[in-house]
A and B are shown apart, each in its own frame.
Chain A
Amino acid sequence: MHVYSRCLLWVFLCFGLFSALPARAEEEDPLLSVFLEGGNIEQATESLIQAINSNNFSFIRQQAIDSRLVPAGLEAGSARIVYFCNFDLMSRALAIDTRTTEFLPCRITLIETDKGVELSAVNPAWVSNRLGNHRLHEYCVKMKKDYLNIMSEAALW
């Protein structure tokens, strides 16, 4: 009985320590990013929207990063968000796991620098890794590929 309770104590301690550590997404970066050399945010946005449409996604809207947070006309010109969606994929992913909303609708953030424009997005495969739903992960890996295709295609301007 004494050995049993000691084992039980170790199990509890190990579980406690394990759950105290943040769950780490295996082999996935939290962000997907592609740098578009040269050009400005307007050109990058236009190129990105074309790439979204040619990859079977629907462009939803674009907005300045601080849209509706500052008076109209005073928004930051150097950072923008482009929203898009594939409704079929979204419906199927939501049916599997409602936590999918953590990366829906799809969004890519554009940040203009003096050397070009950086495109970045939360990596869906990173999110699904830590959600621990294997069925969802399949969709997220596909979505990650779609993001990278879109961003790479946008870089071919």
Chain B
Amino acid sequence: MVKPVCAILVLVLGAVAHAGPLTATAKTDLAGAIDGLTAAAENSGYQLVKVQPIDQALIKRGYPNPGMRILFIGKSSAVEQAMKANPKLLSVLPLRLTLIVEDERVIVSSDDLEMWKAMFPDPATVRLIEGWQHDLGLILSDLSGR
């Protein structure tokens, strides 16, 4: 009985350790999701930096609508901390969120920051990334709760 329980525990812990991108779903349209994310980001001390309308850019050039948009959020302290802890992390700032329209809902997902922790395992860098993951988690759950 103990062995199967251990096996299940290892499986569950494995899934948690390999968390991947954070995601949330909002029952709204694209504009509603952008407004909701902007407000949720502000609640966690972040600012909307840019909405990248890749859907409109592609449609304008005759390509199919990918039904998605990219949004960048950031805060000045994150930039300062990255500069001090590990300037290589500036390559993932401002933080990116992808919005995908699916039926009458919008799925939002973050970049997979988990891999950056594996690549830069020094404690200061890991702490910084975990802070961003925590913030992104709060922002996305704030969005889903709206």
The chain A residues found within 8 Å of chain B, CB to CB, are 9, 12-13, 15-25, 30-31, 63, 65-70, 76, 79, 85, 87-88, 90-91, 94-95, 98-99, 101-102, 104-105, 107, 109, 111, 120-122, 130
In the complex, the answer to whether B74 meets A102 with C-beta atoms within 8 Å is no
- A76 proximity list for chain B (CB < 8 A): 79, 83
Residue of B nearest to A30 (CB): B119
B66 contacts A by Cβ under 8 Å: yes
6 shortest interchain CB distances as A-B pairs: A16-B10, A19-B14, A22-B118, A20-B14, A12-B7, A91-B63
Q: Mark B60-82, 1 if CB is under 8 A from A, else 0.
A: 01011010101000111001000
Identify whether the interface residues of A are mostly helix, strand, loop, or mixed: mixed
Known: A69-B47, A101-B96. A12 touches B11 (CB 8 A): yes
- B57 proximity list for chain A (CB < 8 A): 85, 87
- A98 proximity list for chain B (CB < 8 A): 66, 68, 98, 100
B135 contacts A by Cβ under 8 Å: no
Known: A98-B98, A102-B96. A23 touches B7 (CB 8 A): no
Cross-chain contact of A94 among B8, B9, B13, B68 (Cβ < 8 A): B68
Known: A16-B11, A91-B66. A65 touches B90 (CB 8 A): yes
B142 contacts A by Cβ under 8 Å: no
In the complex, the answer to whether B14 meets A30 with C-beta atoms within 8 Å is no
In the complex, the answer to whether A31 meets B100 with C-beta atoms within 8 Å is no
Residue of B nearest to A68 (CB): B49
Contacting residues of chain B (38-54) with chain A, CB-CB under 8 angstroms: 47-50, 52, 54
In the complex, the answer to whether B70 meets A101 with C-beta atoms within 8 Å is yes
The chain B residues found within 8 Å of chain A, CB to CB, are 3-4, 6-11, 13-15, 17-18, 21, 47-50, 52, 54, 57-58, 61, 63-64, 66, 68, 70, 74-76, 79, 83, 87-88, 90-94, 96, 98, 100, 111-112, 114-119
- B54 proximity list for chain A (CB < 8 A): 90, 94, 101, 104-105
Residue of B nearest to A79 (CB): B90
- A121 proximity list for chain B (CB < 8 A): 91
In the complex, the answer to whether B15 meets A19 with C-beta atoms within 8 Å is yes
Q: Can you pick out 16 interface pairs between chain A and chain B where the beta carbons lie within 8 Å of each other?
A: A9-B7, A12-B10, A13-B6, A16-B7, A19-B15, A21-B18, A66-B79, A76-B79, A79-B90, A85-B57, A87-B61, A88-B63, A95-B66, A98-B68, A99-B21, A105-B52
